[in-house]
Amino acid sequence: MQNASMLRQCPLLVPQDLHGRVYDGFLSLQDKDFRVRINLPADLQLQNAKIQCSWPLKNALQGYQHILKQRLQHSPNLASFMMELKTILEAALKNTNVLQTPPAPQYYSCLVKDIEDLGWDKLLFVDTDFSTISLKIEDSCGREHLIKLKLNAKYPNEAPDCSIELPVPFAISWTPKNTLKNIYDQVLATLESLKDFWDALDEIDKNTWVLEPEKPTRSATMRRIALGTNVSITIDLDPRHPTMLPECYFLGADHVVNPLKDKLNSNIHLWDPENGLLQNLKDVLEIEFPLRSNLEKADFSMDCGICYAYRLESAIPDQVCDDPRCGQPFHQACLYEWLRGLPSSRQSFNVMYGECPYCNKPITLKLSAKRS
């Protein structure tokens, strides 16, 4: 049975002994044959198998070793492992150019000249076959950014893939006469166009208690900022219009959040694009933003009242008891489990009614898809 499925899976991999402990031959994929030899231990335990790969196979599977090891642990038999191996190899071949002809020598000379023109000090990383390059770039405000480039063998006739953390889409314009310096200059121009956006968010990050994201990337447009005990505001800034009023959402008990919403509506005329984001938020909401360092954790808890943690997987406590004296936050999942376990709770469509685990006042839980 095992041999039959092995034969179907890898017809060119031939058993070398009667016990099926040693296989030698080829793994065929995409019209290529990769030499491979498999030695199983005496007890035929797959997780202790030794797989000897020829150099091209080893090269193709580079970076996939941990997945292979894991598959080896979990595959029920050799035939199903070989099937997994083929799938992984297929994916690996798609991601490398191992089967493509290596670049012409001009590729390397051209690239080295490009890097020389740009300055070696800007080069952060280059891989062994000169196909992946990372460049360091600093904008006029001293913020450092990283450009990741993936070049193919036809460089510079074809544009490299360029990835950089930006809040806006970015595509390089490219002609075969272009060099790395052109990419660098194009990225720099884009960075300068986003200066006001990052200035505004850097000021927020420095002068408020940002709850989310924990480590904002340069592409993040959103911040959830603590306003007081169990109340926060989420702003989503338009990277192209960072001085305009951002989208704002409040999170907290109604009696705290509603007055803030009213202030936002009635003071909207105070918003002055000349004043900067933080100052405008202060003026419009008529508040000061608390700093994390100024607050004792005990009197400023944002943690879930059920699991006592702030983060549950990626979720934050976004359900709040509406009773003015309570205002305790909970994770949606924690509150759901809690209410579900109580006979006094009831559910109607996607709303659950029950009692707050803290103050026993009525609490409602809207079951929604997980916030992204």
Of 25-33, 218-226, 292-300, 325-333: span binding Zn ion (CB under 5 A): 325-333
| CB-nearer residue toward Zn ion: 146 or 307 | 307
For Zn ion, the binding residue among 49, 170, 359, 364 (CB under 5 A) is: 359
Mapping DSSP onto H, E and C, the string for 191-240 reads HHHCHHHHHHHHHHHHHCCEEECCCCCCCCCEEEEEEECCEEEEEECCCC
Of 27-35, 117-125, 341-349, 358-366, which part binds Zn ion (CB under 5 A)? Answer: 358-366
| Cβ-based nearer residue to Zn ion, 68 or 320 | 320
Q: Which is nearer to Zn ion, 177 or 297 (CB)?
A: 297
Stretch that binds Zn ion, among 165-173, 210-218, 220-228, 349-357 (CB under 5 A): 349-357
**Which 112-131 residues touch Zn ion, going by CB under 5 A?**
none
Between residues 159 and 226, which has the closer beta carbon with respect to Zn ion?
Answer: 226
* Residue 358 touching Zn ion (CB under 5 A): yes
CA distance 23 to 216: 51
Q: Which is nearer to Zn ion, 13 or 253 (CB)?
A: 253
Enumerate the β-bridge partners of residue 136.
146
End-to-end, the C-alpha distance of the chain in Å comes to 47
Contact at 8 Å (CB) between 36 and 43?
no
Apex 278 CA angle, 276 and 279, nearest 5:
70
- Separation between Cα atoms, residue 190 and residue 131, nearest integer Å: 24
Question: In the complex with Zn ion, which residue's Cβ is closer, 188 or 307?
Answer: 307
Q: Which is nearer to Zn ion, 135 or 326 (CB)?
A: 326
Residue 306 in the binding site for Zn ion (CB under 5 A): yes
Among 159, 326, 339, 352, the residue binding Zn ion under the rule CB under 5 A is: 326
Of 60-68, 116-124, 244-252, 297-305, the window that binds Zn ion (rule: CB under 5 A) is 297-305
Q: Shortest gap between Cβ of 306 and Zn ion (angstroms)?
A: 5
CB of 365 to Zn ion, least distance (A): 12
The answer to whether 315 and 306 have CB atoms below 8 angstroms apart is: no
Question: β-strand 247-251 against 319-320: which pairing, if any?
Answer: unpaired
In degrees to the nearest 10, what's the CA dihedral of 342, 348, 350, 355?
-30
Maximal C-alpha separation, the chain: 86
Under 8 Å between Cβ of 370 and 315: yes
From candidates 57, 302, 356, 365, binder to Zn ion by CB under 5 A: 356
**DSSP secondary structure code for residue 250 in this structure:** E
Minimum distance, C-beta of residue 258 to Zn ion, in the bound complex (Å): 17
- Residue selected from 334, 339, 352, 365 as contacting Zn ion according to rule CB under 5 A: 334
Work out which of 139, 307, 345, 364 binds Zn ion, going by CB under 5 A. 307
Regarding 365 and contact with Zn ion (CB under 5 A), the answer is no
Alpha helix (H) residue ranges in the chain: 2-9, 55-60, 65-74, 78-95, 105-118, 180-193, 195-207, 254-266, 277-285, 332-340
| The binder of Zn ion chosen from 304, 320, 352, 365 (CB under 5 A) | 304
Query: Where along the sequence are the contacts to Zn ion (CB under 5 A)?
Result: 304, 306-307, 312, 321, 323, 326, 331, 334, 356, 358-359
